[in-house]
Amino acid sequence: MKYYIIAGEASGDLHGSNLMKALYKEDANAEIRFWGGDLMQNVGGTLVKHYRELAFMGFIEVVFNLKTILNNINFCKKDIENFNPDAIIFIDYPGFNMRIAKWAKEKGIQTHYYISPQIWAWKESRIKAIKRDFDKLYVILPFEKDFYEKKHHFPVEFVGHPLIDAIQTRKVTDESTFKKENDLDEKPIIAILPGSRKQEITKMLSVMLSVVDDFTDYQFVIAGAPSQEFSFYEQFLKNKNIHFVANKTYDLLSHSHAALVTSGTATLETALFKVPEVVCYKGSWASYQIAKRIITLKYISLVNLIMDKMVVTELIQENCTTKSIKIELQKLLNPLTRKAILENYDLLESKLGGIGASEKTAKFIIKNLR
């Protein structure tokens, strides 16, 4: 069968690659054409557009790039028509994907949404479009099943979180090899995860690195995003105690003592690697003012949302300062604080449904097609 997959971000590329592996395993004759990234491309199939061409962050930024976005939508529709897939699989990325899904449903193409949009956070009115435009929805957070089925009477499949699979199946580089290969010394590592988009990295990295000189017993290591070139990061690397690794986030987290993490999927990844973290977020002033008026969640990190309590500290907008980051990072280095966080991380993992999300999703998709 023929599958068309659309993933518009780095996290979607990761989960899309594992889903593709499962589809090829379950369907020996699978033909896959996709929007994604390097990880998906390494699995096989045909890459149409790389997600680095699609990543626009924040309300204002989307407005400024509206022409490009509309051109991409039109191009995508034509490409789908030419490929004539049996099913389209949408991975998160709702602003783009939901527009394509409406069109695809009208064309009679099966539509499957893997990793549903976070309408429980904002734009809950999108439930009408989801019910109308998607044949099947696969959710990865435990509270999402009740949200869709009990509140909105729309049946979904809870498949567990694919990050568990991605982490458990990774190739592990031992600590001494990792440090040697990346010119690191023997000091404990504090990981810096500033995001994957240029806009958020620019906003976050300088303030994250502003505390480096206060922690001389540790070495700070930036996790370079696969979508960005090293040349982009060079402007921030002016302190000799700052190191950089590219495309090795999981190896970095495997050997880190603590982390500073920009809000997003990385907060959950860090928790699953059992690394105590401080969650940091700053957006443009205009985007933040809009967001805080329409998003009513108690927390911004997935860790706290899933646990429904403050497990990791969140420093948002004007509270994300050198002083506050320094204070919270010092707390993470306290053994008692670390013990409490790690105990909560164990509970978090048990809530996420265990391994096999990609395989479960692939089997559901193929079953529905057949």
63 and 179 in a common domain: no
Is the same domain home to 199 and 249? yes
Give pLDDT, residue 11. 83
Whether residues 99 and 192 fall in one domain: no
What is the pLDDT at residue 264?
Answer: 81
Nearest Cα neighbor of 80 from 56, 114, 103, 59 is 103
Predicted pLDDT of residue 65: 61
Give strand pairing partners of 6. Answer: 35, 90
Q: Give the separation between CA 282 and CA 158, rounded to whole angstroms.
A: 32
Are residues 110 and 243 located together in one domain of the fold?
Answer: no
Considering the domain architecture, whether residues 205 and 258 belong to the same structural domain is answered as: yes
Which pLDDT score, from 0 to 100, does residue 284 have?
Answer: 60
Residues 197 and 235 in one domain: yes
Same domain, 9 and 104: yes
pLDDT at 251: 95
Place of tokens 């023929």: 2
In this structure, how many other beta carbons lie within 10 angstroms of the beta carbon of residue 70? 11
Tokens standing for 315?
Answer: 């420093």
Distance separating alpha carbons of residues 16 and 302, to the nearest angstrom: 20
How many CA atoms lie less than 13 Å away from 234 in the CB half-sphere?
Answer: 4
238 φ, ψ to 5°? -110, 5
Residues 174 and 138 in one domain: no
Specify which residues 33 forms β-bridges with.
4, 46
Tokens of 4: 């068309």
The reply to whether 135 and 269 lie within a common domain is no
Q: Are residues 254 and 293 in the same domain?
A: yes
Q: What is the mean pLDDT of each run of 10 residues along the chain (370 residues)?
A: 94 93 96 96 96 64 66 95 98 93 97 92 91 97 94 96 87 91 95 90 92 95 89 82 91 97 91 97 63 67 94 93 97 96 95 91 94
Same domain, 364 and 304: no
Residue whose C-alpha is closest to residue 273's, from 327, 349, 193: 349
Tokens of 145: 């099943």
CA distance 27 to 40: 17
CATH of the domain at 253: 3.40.50.2000
Give how many domains the chain has, as a whole number.
2
β-pairing, 277-281 vs 313-316, is parallel
Domain holding 333, by residue range, is: 168-351
Q: Say whether both 102 and 175 belong to one domain.
A: no
